[in-house]
Each structure stands twice: as C-alpha cells, then as structure tokens.
Chain A
C-alpha cells in the first residue's frame, strides 16, 4: 500500500518540478543569463535527454540517496534535511502528545459533565480551535505573548547564548539525557508557542470525536450493565466506554494528525524555527529546485509513515480487526 503511493509521489514531484514549469532551468537561473550558459546547464542536468530517460535517472539518483546540492545554500540537500529534520520531529511530536493528552482530557470532562457548563465550554473551545488555522493561532500568540506581554521567546529554537555541542539534532531529548537542564529549559520555552499553535486544531478534533464516541459508547448495553451494578461514573467512562471510544477517535483524528505535520511548514516559518518546514518555504522563495524536491519528498515520506502508524494503531486498538 505504501510503496505504490511512494512511487506515485515520486512521479508527481517529478512532473510538478520538471515538467510543469516548462523549463526547470528557468527556475534556477537569474534573469538575463546567456544562451550558451543555459545550454551548458541543460546538458549538465541531463535535461536534453528524453523525459522518460530523465525520470529513470532521477529515480535512480533518489534511490541511491543522491538528492543533489542546494543551489541557494550550497550544501548537499541530504545533509541539510538530516540536520533540520530532528527539530521538526520534536516540534510535531510534542504537539501531537500535547493535543492527544489535552483532547482526551477535554473529551472525558465534557462527557462526565454532560449537559452542564463544562460540556458547553469544551464545545465552544473546540469550535474556535478548529475554525481558526494553526498559523493564525501562531500569529496571535506572537502578538499576545511575544509583543504585548512578552513572556515567551517567539523565534528560534534555543537561546543563542547557550553553548551546546550535541551529537544529534534532538536538542530537547539530548539535553534531558545529558542532564543539561538549562538547555532543556531554553528549548522548551522556545517550543511552547509553536507547539500550542500547532496542537490546538488537533486538540479540538480529538476532544470532539472522543466526546461523540463516548456518547455512543455510554448508551451501549455493557455500560448500562456497569451502571446497574453500581460502578461510579468515572470508572464507567474510563474502564468501560473509553476503550471502545478510542477506535473511532484514532481513525477520525488521523487526518488531523496529518494536518498537524503539514502545519509545521508555516508554523516554523512564523516562529523562525530551524526545521525542514522553514527550510521548505525558504527553498520555494529562492526557487532552489533540488532543495524543494528533497523537502517535498521528505514530507511525503513522513506523511505516508504517519498514516501507516495510524492504521497500525487502529488495528492494535480494535479487537475485531486484530482477531479477524
């Protein structure tokens, strides 16, 4: 399932970046370049060969990990992506964990106090958090907590005055493992605003879906049984209804998970956060073709991997599929 999708992704990227602009060289060169130079560039990139041959070469290069060099940054694309990817992964994972935890909490709270003000509050919050996209949340946070009431840093990933020589790009993780908590604190304070902005729409999705799934589960016979046996409402929600409500929650929030990952692109740009999303926008603005290609493919692979994980979680959670 994932492999043909990946192949399709490769075709789309190829068509999008090589065929649609007519002449990819046109995207690379400054205006006013000489004909002879253009011709030399065409030959250098193999663009004078038939399109299928080009596609074959290109695919073989990708399979061999040859993504070429970034034109604007003059570094190998693979190296750039590897050095930036950990920052994006930490941001996305932190946001996902936050969103899932808070979303579950809100869903349960709304179910427990059904028909009272907590449910109305959760509904109102979810409506707003879903309607307003993550990048506007990010800008609002910058305005409110970075400028009007400056309590949190609004750009970068770490205080530049802090010296670190970490061996991986996972600054948050590595600083905790090494016990350098000053670094941890700095990374976390830089992470808070982009993380919350990213997490808000997913939080709302999880809360909403879980709430309606719990509502459904609470009307089932086994819940009635549990009630008749005098179990407390908390116990019924957590022990009986929750496990069954989790399946639709994972499935339906899956799309929102993917949106969160895609949202890192703009959020990183807004918060000048040094991940691959920020790299991607920079690449597009600089018309840096090899870098665009590398970043787009990386995101597609992440997307497909995320969807696989969601499918697998679904199987793990749903006993009917697991034993079927």
Chain B
C-alpha cells in the first residue's frame, strides 16, 4: 500500500480523500451553523420536551432529530457542537504540536543537559494515564473551553516531543546538516532552516491525528462534566445528558456519538492517508 501511495498525489489516496471530505463537511457545518441550525441551540421549550426524531411516530417536523429533556432542538445542538469540537481540535492540537516540536528540536539537536532534562521530564509526564491527567488538570485549572484546551496541550505535547527528538537525532547525522555547518550557518539556522523542513511531513501526520485525539479528549471532559458550561452544546455533554435518558430515548446518546465517531474517523483517515503518502519515517 505504501508503494502505491508513493506514486500518487495525496488526492489519489482514498483515505486522504475520505478524511478530507468528512472534515470539509464538518468545517462547513461549523462555519455555517447559524444558517443551518433550525433553532437556537439554547432555546428551551418545556412543553415540547422529548419530542421524538423524524423516524418515530409523533415527531414534530420542525424538530428533525427531536428535542431533549428541556425541549431544546437536538439537530441545532449537534450543529453548534461541531463548532466547539473543531475549535478545540484546531487550537489545542496546533499549540500542543508547537510546544512539543520546539522542545523536541532543542532536545534532539543540542543534546547534553538540556536533552537529559527534557527527556526525563517526558518520561515522568508519560507515567500518568493521559485521561486521568487531563481530568485532573481541567479540574485544577477550572472548567471552561480554555481549561480543556490547556489540558490537551499540557498532556499531549509529549507525543510530538518524543517523535521530533528521535527524528532530529537521525537528521542531525545526515550529510546535508554537515554541509550546512561547514558553510558556516549557525546552529539555529541549521535547526530551523535545514532540519525543521524535513520534519514537516511527520509533523503534518501527527498534527492531524492529534486533532482527532483532541476531539475525543474534549468529549471525555464534557462527558465527565469538566468542559464548557453545562448548557453549552458540546458533543460530550450531549452524550452525558443522553445517557441519563438512555432507556426512554436512546437516540439522545447515539446521535452525538455518531458525530464524534465520524469526526474521529475523518481525522484518522486523513492522518493515516497522509502518512502513506508523505511520511518516510512513520511509514511502516
């Protein structure tokens, strides 16, 4: 499969196409949320609580996917939930990548005490179960979208740091680095101008996969009740609410789950596809 991937442009890769299509759809929904959503996601109508979705009898046609316990429109909440999920995915994953990459570059290139200190810290950091660490962090920092993003950055930068460091160790020994040093480039220019560009494919793949992870972590934190304010329509929060009424209205939990699964599969397909196409390091 890897051999086949090398011959084609990214767009010829089925996984890249599938992932990109899912994510573009999601981005479009998130951007156009105010236009697409038939109702205000926070608007309650207690007379209309637990209205069933369209495939069941007694459905109200203006609430396509039905309403929740407070009579809020499920479809609108799912659509606005996409905004939160994508915001977290983009911001948290990018910042985690930035932090991990900078530390990984420094650690791998300069070696010595700095490398020992950073590597040791990564070891310690990875001795905590990531879920537990992010839950504790979110609790310490306080609830809210910023806390969720911070928790993801602080937990997941190590993924980038480890791989970037290992890759810098390999690149550092290459002839092109020796050549750059010989012609008198200083160390920062070698690192930023020569080595870093060679890591871009690896980073792109890791970043895409991390976005999928960020969506999951946000869902986990909302599910546990530590994400954004409880009435904000996050997918994880919707799952948690739906779980309370699982015996009366199973779709309340199933629908947001389907959104998360589709998003995560999209990021994964894109990441794996990009790996097949681009990345000589992670390609097995």
Query: A and B: real partners?
Result: yes
Residues in chain A near residue B129, CB distance under 8 A: 258, 261-263, 265, 299, 303
Do A143 and B246 touch (CB < 8 A)? yes
Residues in chain B near residue A21, CB distance under 8 A: 140
Min CB–CB distance A217 → chain B (angstroms): 14
Question: Does B120 make an interface contact (CB < 8 A)?
Answer: yes
Question: Does A140 make an interface contact (CB < 8 A)?
Answer: yes
Instruction: Flag the segment in B31-39, B43-51, B54-62, B253-261 that touches A.
Output: B253-261
Which one of A5, A128, A131 has the highest number of Cβ atoms from chain B below 10 Å of its Cβ? A131
Instruction: Flag the segment in A39-47, A239-247, A284-292 that touches B.
Output: A284-292
Do A5 and B131 touch (CB < 8 A)? no
Cβ-closest chain A residue relative to B137:
A16
Interface residues on A, range: 35 or more
Please measure, in the bound complex, the distance between the C-alpha atom of A299 and the C-alpha atom of B127, giving whole angstroms: 8
Do A139 and B131 touch (CB < 8 A)? no
Do A147 and B132 touch (CB < 8 A)? no
Do A280 and B132 touch (CB < 8 A)? yes
Cβ-closest chain B residue relative to A284:
B139
Question: Does B135 make an interface contact (CB < 8 A)?
Answer: yes
Which residues of chain B in 135-161 are interfacial with respect to chain A, using CB atoms and an 8 Å cutoff?
135-137, 139-141
Residues in chain B near residue A147, CB distance under 8 A: 246-247, 250
Question: Does A133 make an interface contact (CB < 8 A)?
Answer: yes
Do B253 and A143 touch (CB < 8 A)? yes
Residues in chain A near residue B253, CB distance under 8 A: 139, 143
Partner of B136, one of A16, A135, A140: A16
Do A148 and B220 touch (CB < 8 A)? no
Do A136 and B254 touch (CB < 8 A)? no
Do B132 and A262 touch (CB < 8 A)? yes
Partner of A265, one of B135, B216, B225: B135
Annotate B248-283 by CB proximity to A: 1 below 8 A, 0 otherwise. 001001100100110011001100100000000000
Question: Does A296 make an interface contact (CB < 8 A)?
Answer: yes
Min CB–CB distance B223 → chain A (angstroms): 7
Do A299 and B239 touch (CB < 8 A)? no
Please measure, in the bound complex, the distance between the C-alpha atom of A106 and the C-alpha atom of B109, giving whole angstroms: 41
Annotate A249-289 by CB proximity to B: 1 below 8 A, 0 otherwise. 00000000011011101100100000001001100110100
Cβ-closest chain B residue relative to A300:
B127
Partner of A8, one of B124, B220, B223, B239: B124
User: Majority SS of interface residues in chain B?
Assistant: helix
Question: Does A142 make an interface contact (CB < 8 A)?
Answer: yes
Question: Does B26 make an interface contact (CB < 8 A)?
Answer: no
Min CB–CB distance A46 → chain B (angstroms): 20
Residues in chain B near residue A261, CB distance under 8 A: 129
Please measure, in the bound complex, the distance between the C-alpha atom of A147 and the C-alpha atom of B223, giving whole angstroms: 19
Do B132 and A296 touch (CB < 8 A)? yes
Which residues of chain B in 221-259 are interfacial with respect to chain A, using CB atoms and an 8 Å cutoff?
223-226, 239, 243, 246-247, 250, 253-254, 257
Cβ-closest chain A residue relative to B142:
A21
Please measure, in the bound complex, the distance between the C-alpha atom of A268 and the C-alpha atom of B133, giving whole angstroms: 16
Which residues of chain B in 177-229 are interfacial with respect to chain A, using CB atoms and an 8 Å cutoff?
212, 216, 220, 223-226
Min CB–CB distance A270 → chain B (angstroms): 8
Residues in chain B near residue A133, CB distance under 8 A: 216, 264
Do A136 and B257 touch (CB < 8 A)? yes
Residues in chain A near residue B216, CB distance under 8 A: 133, 135-136
Question: Does A12 make an interface contact (CB < 8 A)?
Answer: yes
Min CB–CB distance B155 → chain A (angstroms): 11
Do A12 and B124 touch (CB < 8 A)? yes
Please measure, in the bound complex, the distance between the C-alpha atom of A262 and the C-alpha atom of B216, giving whole angstroms: 15
Do B223 and A135 touch (CB < 8 A)? yes
Question: Does A212 make an interface contact (CB < 8 A)?
Answer: yes
Do A281 and B224 touch (CB < 8 A)? yes
Do B131 and A296 touch (CB < 8 A)? no
Please measure, in the bound complex, the distance between the C-alpha atom of A61 and the C-alpha atom of B212, giving whole angstroms: 41
Residues in chain A near residue B225, CB distance under 8 A: 285
Question: Does A324 make an interface contact (CB < 8 A)?
Answer: no
Annotate B118-131 by CB proximity to A: 1 below 8 A, 0 otherwise. 00110111111111
Do A142 and B246 touch (CB < 8 A)? yes
Which residues of chain A in 1-21 are interfacial with respect to chain B, using CB atoms and an 8 Å cutoff?
4-5, 8-9, 11-12, 16-17, 20-21
Please measure, in the bound complex, the distance between the C-alpha atom of A8 and the C-alpha atom of B123, giving whole angstroms: 9
Q: List 5 A-B contacts (CB under 8 A).
A: A16-B140, A20-B141, A136-B264, A299-B128, A303-B127
